[in-house]
Amino acid sequence: MAHNEMNERFLAHPKLSKYDPLKRIIYFDDFDEGINGWTELIGNYEDNLDSLLPGYRDLRPPQLSSVSMWDSGTVGSLDGTYALKIATRAKKGHQAVSIKRTTFRHAGPLRMETYFTFKPEANVLSLSDTAVRSVGFFFDLQDSRERIMPHIRYLNSLDGQRQWKWQYKKDTVPFHDIGERSETVSHYHLDPAGWLDIPDGEQKLCYNEIPTKHNWHYLRVDFDLKEMKYLALQCNDREFDVSGLDSMHIPAMKNLWCMLNLAFFAEADEDRRVFFYLDSILLSGDF
C-alpha cells in the first residue's frame, strides 16, 4: 500500500485522524478498549521483596478512569469514556509510573504520540496549579551495543514555584546488585537529581481555572533506534530543538536484547494526589 493511501486511511479513521503516525503502526492503545498491557513499573528483586531499591517500592499501578469530578460528573477522555490514569499518593515527591514492555523488529525512526492532561485531586477549592511537580515519559531501549534510556519531563512546579518547562536526563545513576546471588542488578533512574533544561524549553500549558476543568494536550517525540538519538519533540503548537540532547548510556545487559519499553510518570509537589491522564497512545515506525 502506498504511503499516501495509508495516510488517507489514517485521516478517515475517527480516532487515528488526530495523530500523524509514521508508515507502520506498532501499537495504538485506545483505553476505551482496555488497559492494553500498561502496568506498574516495579523494580528488580531476588529471593524477597526487601531487595527492591527504595525508589521502586511504592510507584502505584495505573488504572482506567472515566475522569469523574465531584462537581461536573463524568468527563471522560478526549474522544471516549476511559483514559489511562497514573495517580500518585498524597505525598510530596511521590511518583507513579506506568510502563508497556515490547521489543523492536526494525532499528529505525520511531514516533510516539499521545494526548494528555494532568491535575491534582480536586479536594481543595483552590486553583492548585502548583500541586503537580512533573509529568513525563521515558524509553528503555537496548540494541546489540548498549542500553539507552531517553527521559523527558514537563516540570510544572518545584517546591511550590511555577516552572513550566521541558527537561531531559542524560547522566546514569549507580547500579546495585540485588539479592545474595547477584544475578540481578537495579538502578533508580527516576531519581529527582540530574534533570537538565531543554534549550528554549519553556512552555505554558493550558491548566484552566479550577482543578475539575481539563484541557487535553498533544505530545509527539521522534527517536531513531539505529542512531539512538532524538529527532523531534512537539507539544501542542511548539516544536523543540532536541538535536543536541543526549540520553543515559549503559553497556548492553545480558537479557534485554531489542528491548522497546515506553513509560509515563507523574510526581506530586504537595501532599496531595496528582493525576496524569492519557487519552490514547500511538507508537509507529518507519519501516
Residues β-bridged to residue 181: none
Return the amino acid letter for 196: L
C-alpha 155/C-alpha 152 separation (Å) is: 10
The answer to whether 64 and 85 are in contact (CB under 8 A) is yes
pLDDT value of position 49: 72
For residue 160, how far is the Cα from the chain centroid?
A: 23
Check whether domain 23-285 has CATH 2.60.120.200, yes or no: yes
Residue-level pLDDT, tens digit, the chain, 287 residues: 555 666 666 667 878 999 999 999 999 999 999 999 999 988 777 777 777 777 778 888 999 999 999 999 999 999 999 999 999 999 999 999 999 999 999 999 999 999 999 999 999 999 999 999 999 999 999 999 999 999 999 999 999 999 999 999 999 887 777 777 767 787 788 889 999 999 999 999 999 999 999 999 999 999 999 999 999 999 999 999 999 999 999 999 999 999 999 999 999 999 999 999 999 999 999 99
C-alpha 130/C-alpha 161 separation (Å) is: 7
Which of 203, 200, 284, 205 shows the shortest CA–CA distance to 244? 200
Q: What is the pTM of this model?
A: 0.94
Q: Where are the alpha helices (DSSP H) in the chain?
A: 3-12
What residue has cell string 514555584? 161
| Spans of all domains in the chain | 23-285
- C-alpha cell of 270? 504537595
Which of 101, 212, 232, 211 shows the shortest CA–CA distance to 166? 232
C-alpha 256/C-alpha 35 separation (Å) is: 24
